[in-house]
Every structure is written in C-alpha cells, then in structure tokens.
Structure 1
Amino acid sequence: MVPIPLNIKNIKAVVFDLDNTLVSSKINFQGLREQLNCPVHQDILTHADSFVEAADRESAHKLILDHELSDAENAVSLSGCHTLLTYLEDNHFHTGIVTRNCAEASKCKVDHCNITVEEVISREQYAPKPSPEALTALADLWQLQPHQVLYVGDYLYDLEAANNANMPSCLITHGEVKPFENLASLSVNQLDDLLSYIQRYG
C-alpha cells in the first residue's frame, strides 16, 4: 500500500478517528480478545459476526458494547483537540468523525469532551474501517474530491480506510514508533503538530 500524496493547500475537509485521536481510550483489547476467544490477528468486530449461533453473536457484540460504554464515561479530550477543531471551524474546513465505535459510545464521548464537528459516523451507519464507505459518503456529502479530504487517525485501519478511499492520511503517533507509519501520507506526534503543519503549509 502506497499512501496517497498530501498537498495541504488542496484540503477542504479534515475527518478524524475518535479513540486515541481526539479523545482518550483505555479499552483493554487484549483482555477483550481473550474474553471473545478472538485470534490476535483477527478483527474483533469480524470475529463477533462470525459466530454461527445468533445468541453467541448477540452476546459477543454486547460484551464489546459494554467495554465501549464503560470507556466512554472516562474519556478526556487529547492535547490540541479543541485548538485544532476551533482553527478548522474558523477557517471554514469541513470536519467529521469516522469511528468503529457504536453510536451510543461515540455520542457519549463527543458530548462528554465537548467536541463539535459537522458529522459523526459510527459503525452502524456504514461498514467499519478499513472500509472506505463512510469516508466516501462524507466526501459526497460535501461535494469534494478524495484528495481534498484528510483523514486523521492513530491505527492501521485508519490509514487503510483513507487509502481505500483514495484520500491522504495523517497518523498520530503519540511519540511511539508505529510499524505501519510508512503507510501514512503524514505522521505527527500529536494534534498540536498537525495544526502547526496546516498553518505552515496551508
């Protein structure tokens, strides 16, 4: 996978992942995988959908939901979140969130952290990342071309979703070495750094 080139002067919209991008998340995914008997390299949502019996699928999804809602109650906005969103709003960028979270947990986190964006898309509305469906829907809504939309996230699925939508991506690393960093159009430590980049090159 080769990242889509980023020309910040072309960007008219910035879309964000939610967990560990705009807000904190403390979900213990290793523990959740163990509870679901989910193999390390399999997607948790896909694994939950794979149970043959409807009752088992329902139980698996309820367990995931319980973890998400518990996590949502303790979420806090990350450094630079509000400053960046205010700048984007003041400068007439479209803004949105595309998350693999459920709608209930997403709304809880956004409300609790006082985050304001134009659109919030959860996994109930479109196929979850790395599917490009939600990102493409936002570009269509705003009547933008893919190269005019920047998707910002902290994980491989975010970069894959952007690439699948033919959109440039920005990886938030939080100062950690990420094995998939080379797949991002741009990598920064935190949201403050993304704001500086936009202000410098936009």
Structure 2
Amino acid sequence: MRFPELQSGFSLTDIDAVVFDLDGTLAHSNPDFAGLRAELGIPPGTDILAHLHSLQGQREFEAASAIVHRYEMDSSAKACWIDGARELVLHLQHQGLPLGILTRNIREAAQLTLSRLELSLEWVLTREDAPAKPDPAGLRHICQAWQLAPARVLYLGDYLFDVQTATNAGCRSGLYWPGEAPLPGYAAQADMLVPCYHGLKACWPR
C-alpha cells in the first residue's frame, strides 16, 4: 500500500465532494490511443478531439468520428475496475460525500463502462453534456449543482487535462499515477499524487 503525496497547503479535511475522471482513473477502459491515432493518420500525442474539430469536410468528419466511436465502444466493452477504485468509491459513499464523473468520452461508451462496473452516480457528464476537458464548464456545473465552493471539491484523474480542468475550475486536483513509470512534468501541478487507491482510502478522514 502506498499513500498519496499532498502538496503543501492541501488537506483532505478540506474536501467535501469528489469528481472522478472515468477511463484510466476508475476503470481500465482507455482506448488504444496509439492505434486510434495511427488509423486517423495523426502524429502521436495529437489531441484526438481537437483533430476531429479541425476537419472541414462533413464526410471526413463523419468517417473520423466513426473510427473514434468504434475505439471508444470497444474499450468500454472490456472495462473493469482499477485496483482499489471500487473500494475507494464505496468508502467515500459511506462517508456521505457527493460523487460524480466528468469524462471526455461519449455518453454511450461511458454508460457501457459504468454498467460493467455496476456503478451508478447521480452526476455523469460526458463531452456530449459539456465542453470537453480541459474546459472547466462541466466541473463548474457540478460544483454549482452541489452548491459547493470549487475549492472544496477534488477532481481526480490520470492525465494532464484532468489537472488543468481542476485548476481552471478552481477545484483541487488529484493525479492518479500508479506503477514505476517516471512522473510526467505536469505532476507537479497537481495538489495530490495518488499511486494507490488503497492508500488513499486508508488515509481519508473519517
């Protein structure tokens, strides 16, 4: 069990609600991004959604969107819990914290992932419900619905866009980064690094 690393000035006692990213954060459901970019004919690291929006022709856009849809649905059909994530969610629910999900995925794929996890939360926003991350609109909407100050809400994800979204919304950010892979440069921007959900559950205030 490995415990989270908190930046100076950040405490879990200040958190009244948690919003999660979905793919790669709660579930093993990330699409094969390398294969997807190769099939789309775009370089590694290219923002796939930005690429879609850059396409001018309707036929080209629809063809590329169909490829993205296929990859997202295929990965969601095989989704399963990340180690410790289910236990963390149940623990936070038991504590009475409001929980939600903000994902860049499409609604259909997100619902398929959630059905495989047997997880139901009141708030699940996809890129069809709010502008895609790192735009903070979706996260701000959830905070407003909960009537909570953004600084009292933790957004937990596994990528740069998640950290940026939290910062843009005025929320606190948590970066899930398991394993021995070197930390990315943007990890220093997160309020909390989470290498293990069991460790986060164990140190969450009761």
After TM superposition, the score normalised by the length of structure 2 is: 0.91
SS in 2 for 1:77: coil
* Structure 2 runs not aligned, ≥5 long: 1-6
Would the aligned equivalents of 1:96 and 1:118 in 2 still touch at CA under 8 Å? Answer: yes
How far has the Cα of 1:81 moved from its partner?
1.7
1:42 aligns with 2:42: no
2:170 to 166, 173, 184: 166
**Aligned partner letter, 2:183:** K
CA RMSD in angstroms, aligned pairs only: 1.6
Q: For the residues of structure 2 that align with 1:89 and 1:158, how far apart are their CA atoms?
A: 22
1:112 aligns with 2:91: no
How far has the Cα of 1:12 moved from its partner?
1.0
* Structure 1 runs not aligned, ≥5 long: none
Query: Size of the alignment, in residue pairs?
Result: 198
**Aligned partner letter, 1:134:** G
Partner of 2:196: 190
How far has the Cα of 1:164 moved from its partner?
0.5
Structure 1 window deviating more from structure 2 (170-179 vs 72-81): it is 170-179
Q: For the residues of structure 1 that align with 2:86 and 2:128, how far apart are their CA atoms?
A: 26
SS in 2 for 1:79: coil
1:86 to 80, 83, 90: 90
Q: For the residues of structure 2 that align with 1:14 and 1:182, how far apart are their CA atoms?
A: 20
2:35 to 31, 37, 41: 31
SS in 2 for 1:150: strand
Percent identical pairs in the alignment equals 33
CA deviations on 1:104-128 (whole Å, 9 max, x unpaired) are: 0000000111123221111001111
Q: For the residues of structure 1 that align with 2:135 and 2:158, how far apart are their CA atoms?
A: 16
